[in-house]
Amino acid sequence: MLSSSLNDAIVILLNLILTRAKHWQKSQLLLETKTIRPFSFSFNTSDYRILHMDQDQGRLYLGSREYLVSLDMQNVNKEPLIIHWPATAQRKGECKLTGKGGQGECANFVRLIEPWNRTHLYTCGTGAYKPICTFINRGWRAEEYLFRLVPGYVDSGKGKSPYDPRQENAAALINGNLYAGVHVDFMGTDPAIFRTLGDRPAVRTEQYDSRWLNEPVFIKIQKIPDSAEKNDDKLYFFFREKSLDASGGSAPSVLARVGRVCLNDDGGQRSLVNKWTTFLKARLVCSVIGADGVETYFDELRDVFIQRTHDERNPIVYAVFSTAGSVFKGSAVCVYSMADIRNVFNGPFSHKHGHNYQWTPYTGKIPYPRPGTCPGGTFTPDLHTTKAFSDEAVNFVRAHPLMYQPIYPIHKRPLVVRTGVDYRFTTIAVDLVDAVDGRYEVLFLGTDRGTVQKVIVLPKDISTTEELILEEVEIFKVQNQHFLFLSCGLQQQLYVSSERGLTQVSLHRCAVYGKACSDCCLARDPYCAWDGEHCSAFTPATKRRSRRQDIKHGDPLRQCRGFNAKVEKRLRETVQFGVEGSSAFLECQPRSPQASVKWLYQKDGKPRKVVRLSRDKDVLKTGHGILLKSLTQLDAGLYHCLATENNFKHTVARISLRILDREIVDALTETLLTMSRPCAPSLCPSSRQTRSI
């Protein structure tokens, strides 16, 4: 006979199968409604990275191991254009002779694709530990379907692409000059902010000076104008690096940084020759203060998204952080203003002083021009080149590249915080969405378990906010995903790339919210609205009186009058069987992650008097339903799953539980086991006996 514990195990296993089946059904729904499209062209490659989005031609450019790919942004599977760009066989052999290649590194991993002009792209790869660059001819228009390497042209990739594919880089091609945060040597011990190409001299950060860069990991590079004067234009770069004070004590081991240089910096005349003379950096702080008053820092910068505004000088900076230690695991999103960033760069410089050699603000004389000032700019109209800077000013920058004050986020607190979970945020993309009741920022947060969370943050009052997870989509079925690259396009699509591939996800995925007005309203998704019959895509240009949407409050009592009763009537009662002494799992999962669930119970054969479920000691409550342990005939009845959100209550599931007699089930199980065993012909049951059973 089957034991009670085995029955319990079977029930739990069936529950897991049911849960995975639900996920599969949801995935199939997404595929069928074309709200998610995996890039399905099969070729032998990996390490997919979104390197450039061309909104004008509507093309998405990917780099991977030995391949360059051009995709249609409306449909990534529509006639992809592919270039095979491997390292030469000779170079691969030389790479392996150096001891590399144990993990497939002796290949050309594409790490940079930047627009050169209207018809050509500039691209670089690791070249099997010997970086190489070349041009791609993409034609004037997307309709030409032109995508090929310029024959016979190969350029050195040193200072443009890393040697090691495992080392991160960041790059931007600006006015014909390539600016890159990259490791520039075979051993990966010489990191630098480099400028190459173009008509300006090649310059870089000071070499082997840990005060400038100390084992950095480059995240993002972006040109941001400082004023209406072009000579004030600066390059901002975001990175994390090892702390100089990390040898012991309470100092963090890793620090998040933002640095900047002037685009027209040509290096010094006698000191810092071919080196940046305007290089400065500051610490980015993202932290929370606990109930005990202890401040917890998220120091490991993971990703940066720069959201443009109407004023190109003042974009909004969104940054994803995680904790650097292994004891406390958490992630956060902090938002910074350019005004706060500039204030810190205009503030005091950091200086080590005193018998304890502690960091203090520099109080001595500041040379002219002020370190970090651009030549020919607003404050230095008579100095036309950095080579005209005084030796005093140049030497001050060399010794004092760090600002004393840190940069705090807007409101001095994170926008989103995750602690006590088994994942970390790795990437971010942000989209500004116009809804009926205002404009909302929607955050798409990639995690290291291969999912993307869609999140909005709503103000509750002057000092507090409310964070809502609209949905979490499993993009790649891989745990501990190494990286996710997110990009939002004007085509209202999200593009997600990883080690395994690329997936296109529609921002309008309203079908996942069900067929009820209340569910659509409670979803509080600014991309969706109730049109009278369905939860459908909302655009401000198609406003109609029947459109129901309430992002700020999510109140279906007000928005869905006349629709709620119809949903209750359409809800079907399902039948589920359990066995005496065994367990039964009753599934109920509201569509909204914010809903609270309450179970009610109605006894079989009794009048419809609904009472609270009170057998807490025999009930295990989970996020997917309840597990009733050690069933008896008294547990038979009708179970109601009620979800409550924003004072709106509705029934999500009605389950009629019927209890089977233990002796009958055991007898039937024993008979089935007997029938499955081999037997002598004379002892096997006849076909008539089998039919009888």
pLDDT at 7: 45
Indicate if the pLDDT at residue 512 is higher than 80: yes
Give the residue with greater pLDDT, 10 vs 453: 453
Minimum mean pLDDT range among 42-51, 618-627, 670-679: 670-679
Q: What is the pLDDT of residues 433-470, one digit of tens each?
A: 988 888 899 999 999 888 999 999 988 777 788 899 99
Indicate if the pLDDT at residue 605 is higher than 80: no
Indicate if the pLDDT at residue 569 is higher than 70: no
Residues facing 520 on adjacent strands: none
* Alpha carbon distance 556, 561 (integer Å): 7
Indicate if the pLDDT at residue 341 is higher than 60: yes
Indicate if the pLDDT at residue 67 is higher than 70: yes
pLDDT at 634: 83
pLDDT at 490: 65
**Domain regions of the chain by residue span:** 4-27+571-664, 510-566
Per-range mean pLDDT, top range of 24-28, 36-40, 163-167, 322-326: 163-167
pLDDT at 43: 81
pLDDT at 531: 85
* Alpha carbon distance 272, 252 (integer Å): 30
pLDDT at 5: 46
Q: What is the pLDDT of residues 275-301, one digit of tens each?
A: 999 999 999 999 998 878 888 899 999
* Alpha carbon distance 234, 260 (integer Å): 6
Q: What is the pLDDT of residues 252-267, one digit of tens each?
A: 889 999 999 999 999 9
Average pLDDT over residues 342-348: 97
Q: Where are the alpha helices (DSSP H) in 459-583?
A: 517-523, 556-559, 564-570
**Core vs surface per residue 429-442: b (16+ CB within 10 A) or e:** bbbebebbeeebbb
Confidence tier at 10 by pLDDT (50, 70, 90): very low
Indicate if the pLDDT at residue 400 is higher than 80: yes
Q: What is the pLDDT of residues 228-254, one digit of tens each?
A: 999 999 999 999 999 988 655 567 889
The fold of the 4-27+571-664 domain, in CATH, is Immunoglobulin-like (2.60.40)
Q: What is the pLDDT of residues 85-133, one digit of tens each?
A: 999 999 999 999 999 988 899 999 999 999 999 999 999 999 999 999 9
Indicate if the pLDDT at residue 340 is higher than 80: yes
pLDDT at 489: 60
pLDDT at 544: 57
Q: Is the peptide bond before 369 cis (omega within 30 degrees of 0)?
A: yes
Considering the four listed CATH numbers 3.40.50.720, 3.90.960.10, 3.40.50.300, 3.30.1680.10, the one that applies to the domain covering 510-566 is 3.30.1680.10
Return phi, psi of residue 537, to 5°. -60, 135
Minimum mean pLDDT range among 60-74, 367-381, 620-634: 620-634
Q: Give 218's contacts (C-beta < 8 A, 6+ positions apart).
A: 168, 169, 170, 181, 182, 191, 237, 238, 239
Average pLDDT over residues 635-652: 84
Q: And the tokens for 35?
A: 């709200």
Indicate if the pLDDT at residue 478 is higher than 80: no
